[in-house]
Amino acid sequence: MKHTSPSKIRSPKSNPGFTLIEIVITLTIISILAAGSIYLLKGQVDSAKETRVDSDLAAIGIALQSYESRALRMPTTEQGLIALVEKPTTEPIPERWRSFMEEVPKDPWGQPYKYRYPAVSSKKPYDVYSVGADGQDGTPDDIGNWKAVAPK
């Protein structure tokens, strides 16, 4: 027969659990890694927004070319991009109008795209642009259908 003692006393060193300090260190390391990942992803999100603006500008440009070929002129600045969705009510009203877009898209920051005819910044006959993240017209973060000037 085996002899067993009725009460085994375990020393604190033989306890197979985690200490509070080990848990805190592990959570700290996970937090640092998560913060670094979020910081790296932020740059990707900004890049994705700029790419979306470029594709929206291309789609609007195609719709404007189609409008011009049908109406024999570009919409005026006053008529704006809404002329691609609804028949203009201000002069010159095109005789052969049709809708070229279901709706005018908004930029990734929730602002409507701006339109100018004749162009001020673009080599095309018109300017179409987003006011960018700051929401202010005429600032360096504006993205349009013109070649961007590299910051110095």
CATH number, residue 29: 3.30.700.10
Structure-block tokens of residue 93? 């009203």
Q: Is residue 11 part of a domain?
A: no
Q: What is the rounded CA–CA span in Å between residue 66 and residue 75?
A: 11
What number is the average pLDDT over the span 92-104?
93
Radius of gyration of the chain measured on its C-alpha atoms: 30
For residue 131, being part of any structural domain is answered with yes
Average pLDDT over residues 18-47: 83
| pTM greater than 0.95 | no
pLDDT at 152: 47
State how far the Cα of 5 lies from the Cα of 124, in Å rounded to an integer: 94
The tally of domains found in the chain comes to 1
Beta-carbon count within 10 A of 58 CB: 12
Mean pLDDT within 75-83 = 97
User: Does the residue 3 lie in any domain?
Assistant: no
Domain-located, residue 8: no
Residue 124 lies in a domain: yes
Buried b (16+ CB within 10 A) or exposed e, 112-133: ebbbbbebeebebebbbbbbbb
What's the average model confidence in pLDDT over 122-145? 94
Say what the pLDDT of residue 17 is: 77
pLDDT higher than threshold 50 for residue 31:
yes
pLDDT value of residue 70: 94
Q: Which residues form the domain of 129? A: 21-144
Residue 97 lies in a domain: yes
Between 59 and 147, the more confident residue is: 59
Kindly state whether residue 1 falls inside one of the protein's structural domains.
no
